[in-house]
Structure 1
């Protein structure tokens, strides 16, 4: 019986090698919340989340002062009950934001621990659809000083040369004419048959502004336009979905099944990008994916391919995992001891128990320190 004995928590502050921009913000470092949950039998599960470009200590406080005590001494197999207890404990401090991300990290660690305890890789423990690989799109196309439209095209073409049949780039920072030049360069570089995704990172304020961009971009046949507006502006997402031929994708920073159901009820998303390290962990992600299936909506989870690859493998209505092949933007990759590989545009799943990797303790020590709750 796997009883939870202790929890370790760390905030790792990892600087970017190059200052990197999105449609409306610039990032110089990333703060990651890391946890290790250990059972009395000595089995250890790991979890993690992205806190943001500042404020990582909020994560540590949430784990140490709010959530850890809920788990210590409890059986790790009671995942649904433990999730509900953590959520109830956090009602006043944060049903979204950093506290929910802390719940997410701890929940991921519980699933990792439980899968390890029975000796199964996570995707098989969950009940797999895909056993060996899952389809992926290569993500990039960020704004870096001096990076031209032609260089974005070259970057997208480099992913295709690696075998990817779908790629994603950022959009929304330049004016409509400039963004059209970037998308045009990408489409010409990758050819007509590779799927091209666009990510706006909440860059537009209303549908009038959005259509100034999308009317120019529609001829290049994007697979989706991601996060055109702020996450809580569900009505604008729904209106835009009626105005453009480009499918709208969103919900990467959506919290909980109730938000996602409202988004689906209003027609605000053709594709959900729900992130297990944001929405409430694997437990809540599975619920949301099941709700989406009832609406005939695909799930293409955001970020952290290390946890999302096994989830996509275990979810019939999940189409793609977002894959970052280097550590220049998703520099979380520097903190783990084993990377996912890819072949022919598909991510190769780990076959060892649990998530299939651990933290690289030498690297983690460069950016943060562990503290223990028991």
Structure 2
């Protein structure tokens, strides 16, 4: 701990939820939230500041609990310019008596360590007056972006599906990731026929199964879907033996396989790489690892000739993807699926014609909209 002017003096924690009712967005077997994130703001004694986000697909109450009984005391006074040290301090609480006695869950500490780490790097970039994409390596200043769409919805018909795709094409999207696995392979193939008709043969099509298939079904599915020329098939096999089954499935298809977002640490992602289970790694810095470990996975993939295509939060992940030769593409959503992407930032990086162009502002390059914070945010902790 440091008591100098660079130490963290203020910590603010918000929960971000969507107050508006929206139609449910089903994947193969669960509904995805339109907004369910933890926002951490930090500020040092000398006025440097940064923010970070953590994404949760589960109840967020256990994730904010540690700020009600002492976790903040382990953050205040620390040096945000030493992100590796601070990340490890919070992450390694997952294996302590202290966390058990206080009821700090493993998932909560993993999410908090990720958001705090991103906040530290944002602060470092702002204090240095350097955009993070340059601080991390500066490989390029723009990245390709795809839109995730074609979610399942009760009563959703062909007309609605076509109109959804037409709207996204009109906006300028060039790459589309769509959902399968909630219906039979034949029924999903009919949906894919419609989707390919609408987007044409010149645009990229990714297929996301969300871990719905057993290995036998996955083998059948990749053979059936080869005719749609998919760029990749994402998380095609069930969670309980996914790495082994991914490796076995890769031997049955030429379609690249992707995964990683459902891992809970970078070590699971490392195993996917080591076992040659995938060709594209989709970790999520806002769910585990932060940028400190996102950079490590990016380097690991570069050395092993794999691409990274991080899950979710395109504006958060864009600097990391832009910084490295392993960076392939980032994920985006329409305004209904992810209103935070549309409204949270005053100065979002420009998105047009299938690319995100990073601005030259320091750090993440993003400023939180106070209007959006009032709409989506609830302050759950502030130490001063």
Q: What TM-score results when the alignment is normalised by the length of structure 2?
A: 0.89
1:60 aligns with 2:68: no
Task: State the shift of 1:163 in Å.
Answer: 3.2
Which residue in the other structure is 1:295 paired with?
304
Task: State the shift of 1:231 in Å.
Answer: 4.3
**Residues paired across the two proteins, number:** 370
Structure 2 matches for 1:114-193, cutoff 5 A? 114-131=124-141, 133-149=142-158, 151-193=160-202
Structure 2 CA distance for aligned equivalents of residues 215 and 150 of structure 1:
27
Render the CA deviation track for 1:61-114: whole Å, top value 9, x for unaligned.
Answer: 235546433321122111111112122222245896332111100000000111
Q: 3-state SS of the aligned residue for 1:135?
A: strand
Rate the CA distance shift 1:254–1:63 in 2: closer, same or farther, 3 A: farther
Unaligned segments of structure 1, at least 5 residues: none
Which residue in the other structure is 1:73 paired with?
77
Which residue in the other structure is 1:35 paired with?
40
1:276 aligns with 2:285: yes
1:4 aligns with 2:13: no
1:332 aligns with 2:332: no
Q: What TM-score results when the alignment is normalised by the length of structure 1?
A: 0.91
Render the CA deviation track for 1:204-228: whole Å, top value 9, x for unaligned.
Answer: 2x11122333222111111111112
Q: 3-state SS of the aligned residue for 2:287?
A: helix
Moved more, 357-366 or 215-224: 357-366
Task: State the shift of 1:271 in Å.
Answer: 0.5
Q: 3-state SS of the aligned residue for 1:275?
A: coil
Which residue in the other structure is 1:100 paired with?
110
Rate the CA distance shift 1:337–1:276 in 2: closer, same or farther, 3 A: same
Question: Match for 2:30 among 25, 31, 52?
Answer: 25
**1:153, 1:187 within 8 Å by CA — same for their partners in 2?**
no
Which residue in the other structure is 1:212 paired with?
220
**2:34, 2:339 within 8 Å by CA — same for their partners in 1?**
no
Task: State the shift of 1:293 in Å.
Answer: 1.5
Deviation >6 Å, runs of 4+: none
**2:64, 2:380 within 8 Å by CA — same for their partners in 1?**
no
Moved more, 345-354 or 90-99: 90-99
Task: State the shift of 1:27 in Å.
Answer: 4.3
